[in-house]
Chain A
Amino acid sequence: MTSIDVRDLTKEYGTRRAVDHVTFGVRPGKVTGFLGPNGAGKSTTMRLVLGLDRPTSGTATIGGRPYAALTEPLRHVGALLDAQAAHGSRTGRDHLRALAASNRIPAARVDAVLEETGLASVARRRVKTYSLGMRQRLGIAGALLGDPEVVLLDEPSNGLDPEGIVWIRELLRRLATEGRTVLVSSHLMNETASFADHLVVLGRGRLLADTPMRDFIDARVQPHVRIRTTDPGALKNALARHGHDAVEHEDGHWTVAHARVDEIGTLLSTAGVPILELASAEGTLEEAYLDLTAAETEFTAQNQEA
């Protein structure tokens, strides 16, 4: 039992409600992407899960227990909240040694995670000499220190170079394959799409979605067909006869919404339309997310009018 369970969680700062009656679960064996614009409440939710902030109401538990009830919590839960948490005057290795000592984690693990995060060669340099990407890796090393079953990472790809982004993607996939519970917040759609199986989406403190990523995209973005032809007139006629609407784009390709490639291909071939390119285009996470937030904005606007 290593799930994260958030139940009716609310956090108010003064009159501002940062997290508003949010309920969701994060299950093991999957990477759960935690999406939302800046200020949506992602980081606050993570702090509440880690017992760092006191909820106004509701609960957050890990494996059924509040975080503060865990003995030697780093052995169960690893978290990266802020890459600036390591003191600039300490070496990366000393930073991890202090962290390890508090939870009686053997010193060998310190060297193991430094190796794993690619920091072994700079481990004895002071953190103030690190780039943002290296600090991010040090934060991730801290999260992995106790070999935890649950991993929470807040914007881990911040400041990473392209190589680092590939590395974090593979790391997250591997952690999930090993059966761990992985929650990763981000506001980058393409990045999240590359590693997430499941999505939890927040907007202005409220839960907007809690679904498998594929379902999330399929429900919001209709797949479409992309076509290039030398005879636009014939293409339009052929499609119109079958009740399809073709839209022309600036670079000369056409798209047909709400259609499947097998159907369009057959009908164009029958009509003898010359085809240069025919492809089925899947919806992207970005499109699905923008569709969701657009619907959300409309909903909020209507509510305010009423």
Chain B
Amino acid sequence: MAFTPVFHSEWIKIRTLRSEIAALASIPAVTALFSALASSDTGGDDFDPLFAVFFGVTFGQIAAIAFGTTAVSSEFQGGALRLSLAAVPHRGRWFAAKAAAIAVPVLAVGLVTGLVTLMVGKAVLGTKADGLDWAEQTRGVVGCAVYLTLMALFAAGLTALLRSGAATLGILIPFLLIVSFVIGDMSNNIADLLPDRAGQVALHETWDGAMGPWTGLAVTALWTALALAAGAWSVRRRDA
């Protein structure tokens, strides 16, 4: 079977679910809102203008994760997966199409999110954002889009492995909003390798760890690849 029709089918499934459209739409809304709030508070000596602009990604990623999770978890309701795999028995190809149908819209929305957030953040920061050059701003926008896409796919892979959206969100949301902050504050090199902390280096103007912005995103990509491989293994090996 060819890949394109399967991708088309998966894309129809995503865009015909209101919850998926709502999750996509809230990625830029939430990110820009929290960036605006964070940028208005610019105290502290570790002030990083680029991360002040993109701080909202910490919350916007929850919407991206909800999007990736729902796209996969809807297959585990009422025997939907059986119908999908009866239509596309090539399970690896089916899961690849599902992942692509998640990645493409998140990447597109992520770029829009990056641009909107940059404009909002700069407007709120005013002169404090003057130090950001074009290269840094472009890195922020692209990094934001790539990071959100990787996190959505990470969630999708985890959902396929756990076969449950509730379990995935139950693990990821507390991890991203609480655990990662706590471990991050202890500030050791291991914590820097966590999927969210590694990827978010790309959203900083300066960094002090060993990883640069692109190495950081590569580490996140590795986590995502791992989650997708585990999800694909689960889809291929288990009875539907």
Which residues of A approach B to under 8 Å, CB–CB?
47, 50-54, 67-68, 70-74, 77, 79, 81-82, 84-87, 89-91, 94, 97-104, 142
Contact = CB atoms under 8 A, between A and B. Distances in A.
Contacts, number: 91
Interface of B: 1, 5-6, 8-10, 12-13, 16-19, 74, 77-80, 82-90, 239-240
Given A47-B239, A85-B78, A98 B86 contact: no
Contact of A85 (B13, B80, B88, B90): B80
Contacts of A142: 83
A194 B74 CA distance: 37
Given A87-B17, A94-B12, A99 B77 contact: no
A82 B82 contact: yes
B115 to A, nearest CB: 30
Contact of B16 (A52, A73, A81, A94): A94
A84 B78 contact: yes
Nearest to B88: A102
Contacts of B240: 47, 52-53
B239 to A, nearest CB: 4
Given A50-B86, A67-B89, A101 B239 contact: no
B86 A73 contact: yes
A144 B80 CA distance: 17
A73 to B, nearest CB: 6
Contacts of A86: 78, 80, 83
Contacts of A68: 89-90
Nearest to B20: A89
B13 to A, nearest CB: 5
B1 A81 contact: no
Contacts of B1: 71-72
- Chain B binding surface SS class: helix
B49 to A, nearest CB: 42
12 contacts: A51-B85, A52-B240, A53-B239, A73-B89, A79-B86, A82-B83, A86-B78, A86-B83, A91-B16, A98-B12, A102-B9, A104-B5
A154 to B, nearest CB: 10
A155 to B, nearest CB: 13
Contacts of B74: 87
Given A68-B90, A94-B16, A102 B82 contact: no
Contact of B8 (A54, A89, A101): A101
A100 B1 CA distance: 14
A81 B88 contact: no
Contacts of A53: 239-240
A187 to B, nearest CB: 19
A94 B87 CA distance: 15
Contacts of B17: 87, 89-90
Contacts of B85: 51-52
A68 B85 CA distance: 9
Contacts of B84: 102
Nearest to A152: B86
Nearest to A48: B239
A53 B85 CA distance: 11
Contacts of B87: 73-74, 99, 102-103
Nearest to A93: B16
Nearest to A68: B89
A52 B239 contact: yes
A151 B33 CA distance: 53
Contacts of A100: 9
A238 to B, nearest CB: 61
A238 B153 CA distance: 85
Given A51-B89, A73-B87, A73-B89, A103 B5 contact: yes
Given A47-B82, A90-B13, 6 more contacts: A54-B239, A73-B87, A81-B82, A84-B79, A86-B78, A91-B16
A102 B239 contact: no
Contacts of A73: 86-87, 89
Contacts of B6: 102
Contacts of B13: 87, 90, 98
Nearest to B83: A85
Nearest to B6: A102
Contacts of B78: 82, 84-87
A79 B240 CA distance: 15
Contact of A70 (B10, B12, B83, B89): B89
A72 B6 CA distance: 10
